[in-house]
Amino acid sequence: MFDGSSSDWGGISPIVTDPSGDAGGNDEDIVSAYVTNDGSNIYFMIRIVGSIVSPTDGPPPYRVYLDVDQDPSTGMAYRGIGADYVVAGPLEMDRTYVSVTLVPADPEPVPIGLFLAGFSDGFLEFGCTLSAIGYPDAIDVVFEAMAVVIDTDWAPDTGYVTYDVEPPMIKADGDTTDWAGIDPIVTDPSGGPYPNPDANHPDEDIINCYATDDGETLYVRIDIVGTISTKPVSSMFAVFLDTDSNPNTGVSDLDGLNIGIGADYIALWGMFGGGGEPLMPPMAFLFRTPAPSVMEPIGIVSSQPNEHTIEMAIPLMWVGSPNTINIVFMASLIPGTDVTNAISYVTRIQPVGGVLVPSSSFDLLAPWIGLFGFVGSIALVAVRKKHIN
Ligand SMILES: [Ca+2]
Ligand SMILES: [Ca+2]
Ligand SMILES: [Ca+2]
Ligand SMILES: [Ca+2]
């Protein structure tokens, strides 16, 4: 959890330690760095001698350089590796601290993903989705702190360290072959010609949805009749999660229609950043929704669409590690919205099955407009304005 507390890092050893005092003994003086991953994300933690700096302008001071193909001839040559990605933070955005994933490029790096960040005093935790960096098996890593450009510290001081990624059960990579043997948890009627009684358009017409988990990460998949586009800003897929099996907590109402559960969390895939030119590829945010009008960002999770299917991977700890989750899947585009029946999913049973929760599937005549307003407020424009180097 990105709460600025290191308690959930207990039991994880540093991947590298660094002398204190070799970089002025201050805000850029790294003493240790950590890496871990679950089935969705890779997490980094840096400890420094001083206090974590979060400048309101200028580049984020703490960076991790990732050579994901362990090939120094690809990516940016830096300190013995070929860095294919850089993860940098913290950056304040709409009163939320984030880290940003960048592809090194001239004249400036290209942002391709966001993640939350948390810090307190000498401790910073941040990360990136495994899907953003292509699900590497092993990564050559260099940590860097450059807080006030007096001293710069690296860990290690020469060369790099290698992190072996614990492989996920399912990769949210758009390739469905890793779902072989797992049946849909819910099927939804398909229609046509469109508009039809089930959905208004093939690109929002859900047919099959899947869920499975490995005790650590919940993997979900939505298949539609049409094609998932990463271009339009209006395209959106959502997975509603009722984690306390209580219809009276969380979101149960979409534009006046009851979805049959009280969704305490929503995983929402779409193009964030408002209208106009997309600033980053689509992403999947996980929000906590304690009340219908409240959407608190918990984190960003791995996701990838591919033609007729989209996969997402949600850390179970981020949704309170429930034993039972009631799930509703939703696809929403400009013409309308398709919503599945609610399914009760029991975690940690493989192969998994689902039980229908009494409710009826329905269509909305318009996309779920309320969410778009919120999404716009996340304003990724800030990333460009802050000009990360
Ligand atoms: Ca140091
Ligand atoms: Ca490389
Ligand atoms: Ca996959
Ligand atoms: Ca609930």
Measured CA to CA, the distance from residue 114 to residue 301 in angstroms comes to 10
CA of 262 to the centre of ligand 4 (A): 4
CA of 140 to the centre of ligand 2 (A): 9
Q: How confident is the model at residue 254 (pLDDT cuts 50, 70, 90)?
A: confident
Q: Could you say which ligand is closest to the alpha carbon of residue 84?
A: 2
* pLDDT recorded at residue 343: 83
Position 384 pLDDT exceeds 70: no
Q: How confident is the model at residue 300 (pLDDT cuts 50, 70, 90)?
A: very high
Q: Could you say which ligand is closest to the alpha carbon of residue 151?
A: 1
CA of 222 to the centre of ligand 3 (A): 12
CA of 264 to the centre of ligand 4 (A): 5
Q: Could you say which ligand is closest to the alpha carbon of residue 309?
A: 3
Position 183 pLDDT exceeds 70: yes
CA of 26 to the centre of ligand 1 (A): 9
Q: Could you say which ligand is closest to the alpha carbon of residue 82?
A: 2
Phi, psi of 363, rounded to the nearest 5 degrees: -120, 150
* pLDDT recorded at residue 60: 86
Mean pLDDT for the chain? 83
Least confident window among 164-173, 234-243, 248-257:
248-257
* pLDDT recorded at residue 316: 95
Q: Could you say which ligand is closest to the alpha carbon of residue 328?
A: 4
Q: Could you say which ligand is closest to the alpha carbon of residue 171?
A: 3
CA of 42 to the centre of ligand 1 (A): 23
Residue 38 three-state SS: coil
Q: Which two tokens stand for residue 323?
A: 């034993």
- pTM higher than 0.75 for the full model? yes
pLDDT in tens, 66-81: 999 999 999 999 999 9
Q: How far is CA 102 from CA 64, 65, 150, 207, in A?
A: 10, 10, 24, 35
Q: Could you say which ligand is closest to the alpha carbon of residue 244?
A: 4
Q: How confident is the model at residue 382 (pLDDT cuts 50, 70, 90)?
A: very low
113 DSSP assignment: E
Position 196 pLDDT exceeds 50: yes
Provide the residues around ligand 2 (an ion) whose CB is within 5 A: 67, 69, 71, 74-75, 82, 84
CA of 142 to the centre of ligand 2 (A): 12
Least confident window among 155-169, 181-195, 316-330, 338-352:
338-352
- Secondary structure element (H or E) that encloses residue 374, with its range: helix 369-378
Q: Spell out the domains of the chain, with CATH numbers in brackets.
A: 7-167 (2.60.40), 176-377 (2.60.40)
Give 159: exposed, middle or buried? Use CB within 10 Å, 0-12, 13-18, 19+.
exposed
Position 159 pLDDT exceeds 90: yes
Q: Could you say which ligand is closest to the alpha carbon of residue 16?
A: 1
Give 257: exposed, middle or buried? Use CB within 10 Å, 0-12, 13-18, 19+.
middle
Contacts of 212 (CB under 8 A, 6+ apart): 169, 170, 179, 182, 218, 219, 350, 351, 352
CA of 115 to the centre of ligand 3 (A): 21
Mean pLDDT in residue range 24-28: 87
DSSP β-ladder status, 30-37 and 16-17: antiparallel
Mean pLDDT in residue range 269-294: 77
- Is residue 312 within 8 A of residue 269, CB to CB? The reply is yes
What is the CA 122 to chain-centroid distance, rounded?
Answer: 25
pLDDT in tens, 31-66: 999 999 999 999 999 999 999 988 777 778 999 999
Q: Could you say which ligand is closest to the alpha carbon of residue 249?
A: 4
CA of 109 to the centre of ligand 2 (A): 15
Provide the residues around ligand 1 (an ion) whose CB is within 5 A: 18, 22, 29-30, 153
CA of 308 to the centre of ligand 3 (A): 13
pLDDT in tens, 326-354: 999 998 876 677 888 888 887 754 433 33
CA of 325 to the centre of ligand 3 (A): 21
Q: Could you say which ligand is closest to the alpha carbon of residue 28?
A: 1
* pLDDT recorded at residue 228: 86
Between 259 and 83, the higher pLDDT residue: 83
